[in-house]
Amino acid sequence: MLLPLHAQVTGIGSAKTWVFLNFEQNYGIYIADASVNLNLNTPEDFMEGTATDFLSSHLKVVSRGGYEVWVKAASEDFYVEGTPTGIPVNAIKINTRNSVGTASVSLSSVSQLLIGSNKKKFSESLDVNYEIPSDRTDYFFNQSGKVYETVIIYTLILN
């Protein structure tokens, strides 16, 4: 139906609705393998150092925005059977890589920035490598053949 040029169209009714977007706090950091072994078994290990391969997707970060991953050891020294050894945890170097780049830190009982990203991704996997460089193997000379252990704590900071 055609309306005359001077006729007005008026609204017959209207309706409105409210739309709510609810976002859960979807963020976290997950570790793929909670146990990592470094072996110092041969003279070559002491001369050249030892390292794991890059552990693919060892850490997974879930974040809707930029993030930083911080790392620290639970104590200053390695422990053997619950007793501190006097061997500093900074004998371990942690190397990581993500889609942005790579980073390395010497382990410490003080929290330090390991790696971060400003990209807006929901999740990202980080490859991690644990290493005792050749210049730090001397900490383990003349030590007993027991298992030396420490706890490493990764913390996710959102930005």
**In 3-state terms, what secondary structure has residue 111?**
coil
Q: For the domain covering 28-158, report its CATH number.
A: 2.60.40
Structure confidence at residue 13 (pLDDT): 67
Buried residues in 63-83 as b, exposed as e (16+ CB within 10 A):
beeebbbbbbbeeebbbeeee
Q: What are the extents of the domains in the chain?
A: 28-158
What's the pTM? 0.81
Left, alpha or beta for 142 (phi > 0: left; psi -120 to 50: alpha)? Answer: left
pLDDT in tens, 55-105: 999 999 988 888 899 999 999 999 999 999 999 999 999 999 987 789 999
